[in-house]
Homo-oligomer: A and B are copies of this chain.
Amino acid sequence: MLDPVLDRIDADLPLATDRLMALLRIPSISTDPAHAADCAAAADWLVQDLRDMGFDAARHDTPGRPMVLGHGGEGARHLLFYGHYDVQPVDPLHLWTHHPFAPRLEETPAGPVIRGRGASDDKGQLMTFVEACRAWIAVHGSLPARVTVFLEGEEESGSPSLVPFLEAQRDRLRADIALICDTDLFDRDTPAITTMLRGLVGEEVTITGPRMDLHSGMYGGAAVNPIRVLARILAGLHDDRGRVTLPGFYDGVDEIGSDLRSQWEALGFDERAFLGVAGLSHPAGEEGRSVLESIWARPTCEINGIVGGYTGEGFKTVLPSRATAKVSFRLVGRQDPLAVREAFRTHVRAHLPPDCRAEFAEHGASPAAVMDISGDDFVRAREALSAEWPRPAAFTGSGGSIPVAGYFKTILGMDSMLIGFANDDDLIHSPNEKYDLRSFHKGIRSWARILHALTR
Interface residues of A (CB under 8 A from B): 198, 200, 202, 204, 209-212, 214-225, 227-228, 230-232, 234-238, 274-275, 278-286, 291, 294-295, 298-300, 302-311, 314-320, 323-326, 328, 330, 353-355, 363-364, 398-401
Cβ contacts A to B, 24 pairs, < 8 Å: A204-B315, A211-B279, A216-B328, A217-B330, A217-B400, A217-B401, A219-B295, A222-B285, A222-B295, A223-B275, A227-B306, A230-B231, A231-B235, A280-B355, A282-B353, A302-B319, A304-B316, A304-B319, A305-B311, A305-B318, A306-B309, A306-B311, A307-B311, A316-B326
Shortest A91–chain B CB gap in Å is: 15
Q: Which B residues lie within 8 Å of A311 (CB)?
A: 305-307, 324, 326
A295/B221 contact (C-beta < 8 A), A216-B328, A319-B304 known: yes
**Contact between A220 and B302, CB atoms less than 8 A apart:** yes
Q: Which B residues lie within 8 Å of A220 (CB)?
A: 295, 300, 302, 328, 330, 399
User: Of the candidates B217, B223, B398, which one forms a contact with A217 in the assembled complex, judged by CB atoms under 8 Å apart?
Assistant: B398
A235 to B398, CA, bound (A): 33
Q: Which B residues lie within 8 Å of A317 (CB)?
A: 200, 202, 302, 304, 328
Shortest A326–chain B CB gap in Å is: 6
A330/B228 contact (C-beta < 8 A), A304-B319, A305-B316, A309-B306 known: no
A238 to B400, CA, bound (A): 36
**Contact between A328 and B306, CB atoms less than 8 A apart:** no
A316 to B158, CA, bound (A): 11
A364 to B217, CA, bound (A): 14
Q: Which B residues lie within 8 Å of A285 (CB)?
A: 221-222
Shortest A117–chain B CB gap in Å is: 19
User: Of the candidates B235, B294, B299, which one forms a contact with A232 in the assembled complex, judged by CB atoms under 8 Å apart?
Assistant: B235
Q: Which B residues lie within 8 Å of A217 (CB)?
A: 198, 200, 330, 398-401
**Contact between A223 and B305, CB atoms less than 8 A apart:** no
A355 to B284, CA, bound (A): 9
User: Of the candidates B210, B218, B291, B330, which one forms a contact with A279 in the assembled complex, judged by CB atoms under 8 Å apart?
Assistant: B210
20 further A-B contacts with Cβ under 8 Å, apart from A223-B275, A315-B326, are A210-B279, A211-B280, A215-B400, A217-B399, A218-B295, A219-B295, A220-B328, A220-B399, A221-B299, A221-B300, A228-B302, A231-B306, A282-B355, A302-B319, A303-B309, A305-B309, A305-B311, A305-B316, A311-B326, A315-B364
